[in-house]
Amino acid sequence: MARPARLSDAPVTVPTVVSVPSRGATRATIHDVAAAAGVSRQTVTRAMNGQYGISPTTKQRVLAAAASLDYRPSRFGRGLVTGGERQLGLVVSDLRNPYSPELAAAVLGLAAGKGWNVMLADVGLAGDSDRAVQALGAQTDVVVGYLGARAPEWIERLGTVPVVELDPAGEVLRAAVRIDPTGAIEEVADHLLASGVRHPVIVDASAAGRPSARGRLMLDALRRRGWSPEVAVAEAPTAEHGAAMAARALERFRGVDAVLAFNDVMALGVLAACRRAGADVPRDVRVVGVDGLTAGTLVAPTLTTLAVDLGEVAREALDLALGMLSGELPRHGAAVQRTVRHRLLLRESA
């Protein structure tokens, strides 16, 4: 794994930035940063853009002054004056998963109507994900997307760029849109119980090799209704892994009559495994996915799913982004968190 980039390999003493004037609601300018750091405007430009020609000590002093003044070069601010377009950075984890293109389409469609340009970084496919995130932050006014377990590190790299995490994996450091499947999982568990299901299986995905947060919610919901479900955990949420886990479950566990998959992509793999095993869906096995992807309506039987409205996710994320950029919302805290909930869509597979 590449070592995180540092300003210098040598220890650097950061001078205390003094005499930072109170600015009220006025945004700091490059001249304010230059004055606070005791350097020229050109030196500030070099430091903020990572250019050569200044020492590590000077660069650190400039960055400390910029952080104290909450300053960053802003296309957003210039856009308000000149009518120029604003830049939004979107982070996705894998464009091969149909969820990512559908999310990107929702964000792009909404952003275009608000006068934004969108730049995209796929941190799952990028050769150097650290560099991809850092470059995105340098070229955009706000970053929205899936940062996962590396959110603390990447948010630190983004500096003062406003960040809206989608479905954060841990503590929210800036702003976030949480995506909550809890209610829909409870609803589908009730439906399976009423349908006479006796032996459900969870096909989960987690790089850690243990149930994911979503998988644990499913497991808890099923246990509270009297089931003792098996959990098959794949290393990645792909159709191939879904098919392999389902095939193994159908072979090893007698009487499997329902499969709850981590996402719709895995559920499509489950449908394929059932077909190859001669198990009729839904007569023999009921199958449920998560996400509400369009692909679920194009297969036979159509896929029952816990759907999330990606248009709503995009609206909430951009609303937070605009609020932070305009100063109407803080850069972190409870006021910059929203929740979008899944809903159960019953289709043919269950």
pTM, two decimal places: 0.76
pLDDT digits (tens, 9 = 90+) for 166-210: 999 888 888 999 999 999 999 999 999 999 999 999 999 998 889
Between 264 and 8, the more confident residue is: 264
In the prediction, which pLDDT does 51 show?
62
Ranked by mean pLDDT, the top range of 33-42, 100-109, 133-142 is 100-109
Query: Using CA atoms, how far apart are residues 192 and 105, in angstroms rounded to an integer?
Result: 33
> In the chain, where does the domain assigned CATH 3.40.50.2300 lie?
83-180+311-341, 182-307
Backbone angles phi, psi at 90, to 5 degrees: -115, 125
Q: Which CATH topology does 182-307 take? A: Rossmann fold (3.40.50)
* pLDDT of 254 higher than 50: yes
Contact (Cβ atoms closer than 8 angstroms) between residue 274 and residue 244: no
Contact (Cβ atoms closer than 8 angstroms) between residue 36 and residue 68: yes
Contact (Cβ atoms closer than 8 angstroms) between residue 261 and residue 233: no
The CATH number of 83-180+311-341 is 3.40.50.2300
Instruction: Tell me which residue of 255, 252, 301, 253 sits closest to 275, measured CA to CA.
Output: 301
Between 219 and 150, the more confident residue is: 219
